[in-house]
Amino acid sequence: MKKLYSALLLSALALLAAGQSQAAHPAVKRACGQAPAAPGLIDGKSATEQSMRLVAGSVRGFADESLKYLTCLDNQPISTAYMAQPSFRAALAAHREEVADKLEVTVNAYNSQLRSFKSQQAQVAQN
Q: Where are the domains positioned within the chain?
A: 2-126
pLDDT over 90, % of the chain: 54
- Give the Cα separation of 35 and 71 in Å (integer): 12
Range with the lowest mean pLDDT among 8-12, 38-42, 83-87? 8-12
What sign for the dihedral angle of Cα 89, 100, 31, 76?
A: positive
**Rounded alpha-carbon distances, angstroms, from residue 124 to 55, 56, 67, 118:** 21, 21, 37, 10
**Rg, C-alpha atoms of the chain:** 18
111/79: higher pLDDT: 111
For 24, counting Cβ atoms within 10 Å of its Cβ (0-12 exposed, 13-18 middle, 19+ buried), the class is buried
What is the per-residue pLDDT across 45-93, written as a single tens digit (0 to 9) for each? 999 999 999 999 999 999 999 999 999 999 877 778 877 889 988 998 9
Q: What is the pTM of this model?
A: 0.76
Q: Would you state the pLDDT for residue 127? A: 67
